[in-house]
Amino acid sequence: MRIIRLALIFFFLTSIVQTSLAFEIEKILKDLGDTDIIQATTDVFQLKKSTIVSGAGNTYRLDTYNLTAIIGEAIGGQSSNSANYALSSGYMSDPQTIPGFDSTPPTTPVVIDDGDYTTSSSTLHASWSAEDPESEIAQYLYSVPGIVDWTSAGLDTEITLTSLGLKHGQTYYFEVIAKNNAGISSEVGMSDGITVNLSEPIILILIPENLSKVYAEDQLDIQVAASDSDGDTLEYQIIIDGEIKQDWSHSRIFSWTINAEEAGKVHIITANVRDGNGAVVSKQSKVFILHKPINPPLRPISNSGEGS
């Protein structure tokens, strides 16, 4: 493997950018011609950072160092002129063979928002995660198309956005990109979307009312009346003691036949109502099941032998 170790001037360490580094590397390589190695002593160097750049038609990993002194060796009778440059090392080989080289992107971020809908017109929240075992995550960038342009979150893995002007019925998506320390970006991860619903349905009536008493062996019609200000079609779900008796349906009435063994028990009836934007509201009633009374006779029963 052909390795070129180059010496660059110290003051470039804090001011030079990737593009100018690539330019300097390309210029120096042209000056070197076929010289294989320029070596500078490393006992005074402390690794500062690694950067992936391109130069002279090749890919380089530049390991930039802090220096206290630079001593150059003569190669082929010519000085390396290392005193004119701050140290970086460029590798002109297959990038896959470079120790520590990361040529792959981070995993696509998994992005999670706060559910199917929100009743807030001003706040959105999301969290995310991604991995990069080679060079680790350097930063995350997020956006919410239409309201927030791409913004760096640093290494934070969640964000709460406030003071937004969210629109009723609109669905918003968080997009997130992970970038690793090799400068490579992941694919865009996206949440499944959260819809703004500023008009939840209202349950007006639930029959039976709370603390009602009903008889065993009777049929109880559980009835729900609800409204929605923006005219959404409503669906109804009936749950008794945590068990779904009627799944989501347009029917507002569910008939429950109460068995004799239910006498003496207390049951919790829950009515859920859902609108077209996914908002769900609930109302509960506690009902007491009583023994059904024995009906009295329609007329008195006469004693035997009385009357003629």
pLDDT value of position 89: 41
CATH superfamily to which 110-196 belongs: Immunoglobulins (2.60.40.10)
Q: What span, in angstroms and rounded, lies between the C-alpha atoms of 6 and 40?
A: 8
Say if residues 129 and 137 touch (Cβ distance below 8 Å): no
Contacts of 31 (CB under 8 A, 6+ apart): none
pLDDT value of position 45: 37
pLDDT by residue for the chain (308 residues), tens only, comes to 333 333 333 333 333 333 344 444 444 444 444 333 333 333 333 444 445 444 444 545 454 443 333 333 333 333 333 323 333 344 333 344 344 557 789 999 999 999 988 989 999 999 999 999 888 899 999 999 999 999 999 999 999 999 999 998 899 999 999 998 888 999 999 999 999 988 889 999 999 999 999 999 999 999 999 999 888 899 999 999 999 999 999 999 999 999 999 999 999 999 999 998 788 999 999 999 999 888 766 665 555 555 44
| CATH architecture of the region 202-290 | Sandwich (2.60)
pLDDT value of position 134: 83
pLDDT value of position 171: 95
Closest CA to 283 of 221, 216, 214, 209: 209
Where do the structural domains in the chain lie, given as residue ranges? 3-97, 110-196, 202-290
List the end-to-end C-alpha distance of the chain, in Å, as a whole number: 130
| String of DSSP letters for 166-199 | PPTT-EE--EEEEEETTS-B-PPEE---EEE---
Domains 110-196 and 202-290 share a fold: yes
